[in-house]
């Protein structure tokens, strides 16, 4: 994307000490007391990830960083008190009771993409669900919380199509586009990663708790915050950097001026990730961010088929229909070896036109069917050798 637009957006990012080296010092997360120190550091309420990163390089180890905060030389006054009173064993016990694993930079599950965040890599992660190393082909989807019905449908279709193509959908579990992308992946029986801006026991909004649970059962839920840490406004930009880092590409579906999606875009650009945007009506406030991104050089995608093509998922392998299909879904899916026209499918299956239309929509949301020009066909995904 052109430099002027990128520079203007980057001005909104927090100022960081750009002379601090990337990654962590050798031995930072190792040694007898490192794990306990990192548990406490992850539970502090005021200190920010880039400040923890600066402390790491200033003092060398997690223990020394924590000691600096306990002496009152870094962090907020509340952090000083918390650092002196928090019990690392109790933090890990609460995390385990929630079904989460504590992952540090010394662990294999700490993904190298987190270190792409040169100035604020997370010092630790709490992970529920599948090991992150088992979810390698990831694409991030973000957008408006107060999305339109069309935006919700597009995001769900993108989530389902990516999942059907074998990709893991990454988003922030917020209402609107995030939730729709997760639901699409789940509907297609695929995998998804939800990145929280709070502790695992404090999902935000509260209404997303069931969705987060389902995402964790099918994929993974991660947070850099210990149990009990509340979702506060400043944590969401921090969460967005993790969403951007996890994906090999970032897709933006709707966003009004000032949307938090632009923060995700800034991070994606800094990380060298591809950025895609779904256009909308020029008179719609929700189209402001995607249209501005396209004007600045982001790749326009009209829907999931454009996205899959641009990401290199060529038509090499057909999606295998799961055995859990309903009888009518199976009949329609099996009939798609023919012309793919709705009336022809109805004639072959003996179903009504309205029933066929409903079933085709369900199959499309599951990532098993694609539509083009009024015709339907079984969706295909790439072989491993055909992806970039």
> Using one digit for the tens of pLDDT, what is the confidence trace for 177-216?
999 999 999 988 899 999 999 999 998 888 889 999 999 9
pLDDT value for 363: 87
Same domain, 232 and 331: no
* Residue 97, domain member (yes or no): no
pLDDT value for 320: 61
Of the candidates 139, 88, 153, the one whose C-alpha atom is nearest the C-alpha of residue 264 is: 139
pLDDT value for 181: 96
Same domain, 341 and 284: no
Same domain, 285 and 217: yes
* Residue 365, domain member (yes or no): yes
> Using one digit for the tens of pLDDT, what is the confidence trace for 26-63?
999 998 899 999 999 999 999 999 999 999 999 999 99
Q: Could you tell me the CATH number of the domain that includes residue 213? A: 3.40.50.450
CA distance 360 to 356: 6
Same domain, 229 and 339: no
Same domain, 279 and 339: no
For 51, phi then psi, to 5°, come to -70, -40
The residue among 260, 289, 310 that closes a domain is 310
For 378, phi then psi, to 5°, come to -65, 135
pLDDT value for 337: 66
Report residue 369's pLDDT band, with 50, 70 and 90 as the boundaries.
confident
In the predicted model, is pLDDT for residue 8 greater than 80?
Answer: no
> Using one digit for the tens of pLDDT, what is the confidence trace for 237-264?
999 999 999 999 999 999 998 888 899 9
CA distance 103 to 149: 38
In the predicted model, is pLDDT for residue 6 greater than 50?
Answer: no
In the predicted model, is pLDDT for residue 18 greater than 80?
Answer: no
pLDDT value for 380: 57
Of the candidates 245, 222, 249, 275, the one whose C-alpha atom is nearest the C-alpha of residue 117 is: 245
Report residue 365's pLDDT band, with 50, 70 and 90 as the boundaries.
confident
Q: What are the Cα distances from residue 98, in Å, to 25, 40, 209, 216, 228?
A: 31, 17, 13, 12, 11
The residue among 261, 281, 310 that closes a domain is 310
- The size of the chain, in residues, is 388
* Residue 369, domain member (yes or no): yes
What is the count of structural domains for the chain?
Answer: 2
pLDDT value for 314: 52
* Residue 291, domain member (yes or no): yes
CA distance 37 to 105: 13
pLDDT value for 203: 86
pLDDT value for 319: 55
3-state SS track over the chain:
CCHHHHHHHHCCCCCCCCCCCCCCCCCCCCCCCHHHHHHHHHHCCCCCHHHHHHHHHHHCCHHHHHHHHHCCCCCCHHHHHHHHHCCHHHHHHHHHHCCEEEECCCCCCCCHHHHHCCCCCCCCEEEEECCHHHCCCEEEEEECCCCCHHHHHHHHHHHHHHHHCCCEEEECCCCCHHHHHHHHHHHCCCCEEEECCCCCCCCCCHHHHHHHHHHHHHCEEEECCCCCCCCCCCHHHHHHHHHHHHCCEEEEECCCCCCCHHHHHHHHHHCCCEEEEECCCCCCHHHHHHHHHHHHCCEECCCHHHHHHHCCCCCCEECCCCCCCCHHHHHHHHHCCCCCEHHHHHHHHCCCHHHHHHHHHHHHHCCCEEEECCEEEECEECCHHHCC
Global pTM? 0.81
Domain range for 279 is: 132-310
pLDDT value for 286: 96
pLDDT (average), residues 253-280:
94
Percentage of residues of the chain with pLDDT beyond 90: 69
Average pLDDT along the chain: 88
* Residue 299, domain member (yes or no): yes
* Residue 38, domain member (yes or no): no
In the predicted model, is pLDDT for residue 97 greater than 90?
Answer: yes
In the predicted model, is pLDDT for residue 361 greater than 70?
Answer: yes
Same domain, 202 and 326: no
- Which segment of 153-157, 288-292, 349-353, 363-367 scores lowest on mean pLDDT? 363-367
pLDDT value for 33: 95
* Residue 104, domain member (yes or no): no
In the predicted model, is pLDDT for residue 387 greater than 90?
Answer: no
**7 CB neighbour count, 10 Å cutoff:** 9
* Residue 58, domain member (yes or no): no
> Using one digit for the tens of pLDDT, what is the confidence trace for 292-338?
999 999 999 998 889 998 998 754 344 566 677 889 998 998 888 65
CA distance 266 to 271: 9
pLDDT (average), residues 109-125:
96
pLDDT value for 384: 35
pLDDT value for 321: 67
């Amino acid at each position: 994307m052109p430099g002027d637009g990128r520079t203007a957006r980057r001005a909104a990012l927090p100022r960081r000490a750009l002379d601090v080296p990337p990654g962590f010092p050798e031995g930072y997360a190792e040694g007898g007391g490192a794990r306990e120190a990192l548990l406490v550091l992850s539970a502090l309420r005021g200190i920010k990830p880039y400040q923890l990163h600066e402390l790491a390089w200033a003092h060398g180890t997690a223990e020394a960083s924590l000691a600096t905060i306990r002496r009152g030389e870094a962090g907020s006054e509340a952090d000083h008190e918390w650092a002196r009173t928090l019990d690392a064993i109790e933090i890990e016990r609460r995390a385990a009771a929630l079904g989460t694993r504590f992952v540090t930079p010394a662990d294999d599950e700490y993904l190298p993409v987190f270190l792409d965040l040169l100035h604020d890599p997370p010092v630790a992660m709490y992970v529920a669900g599948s090991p992150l190393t088992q979810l390698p082909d990831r694409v991030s989807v973000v957008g408006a919380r107060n999305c339109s019905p069309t935006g919700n449908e597009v995001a769900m279709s993108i989530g389902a199509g990516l999942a059907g193509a074998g990709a893991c959908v990454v988003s922030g579990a917020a209402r609107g586009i995030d939730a729709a992308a997760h639901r699409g992946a789940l509907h297609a029986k695929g995998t998804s990663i939800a990145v929280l801006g709070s502790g695992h026991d404090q999902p935000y909004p509260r209404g997303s708790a069931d969705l987060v649970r389902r995402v964790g059962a099918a994929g993974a839920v991660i947070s850099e915050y210990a149990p009990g840490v509340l979702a506060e406004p400043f944590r969401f930009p921090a969460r967005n950097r993790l969403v951007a880092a996890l994906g090999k590409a970032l897709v933006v579906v709707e966003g009004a001026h000032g949307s938090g999606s632009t923060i995700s875009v800034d991070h994606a650009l800094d990380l060298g990730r591809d950025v895609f945007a779904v256009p909308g009506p020029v008179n719609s406030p929700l189209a402001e961010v995607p249209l501005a991104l396209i004007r600045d050089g982001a790749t326009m995608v009209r829907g999931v088929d454009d996205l899959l093509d641009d990401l290199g998922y060529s038509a090499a392998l057909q999606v295998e229909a799961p055995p859990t299909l309903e009888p009518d879904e199976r009949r329609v899916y099996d009939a798609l070896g023919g012309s793919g026209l709705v009336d022809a499918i109805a004639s072959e299956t003996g179903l009504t036109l309205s029933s066929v239309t409903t079933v085709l929509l369900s199959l499309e949301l599951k990532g098993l069917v694609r539509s083009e020009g009024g015709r339907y066909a079984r969706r295909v995904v790439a072989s491993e050798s055909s992806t970039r």
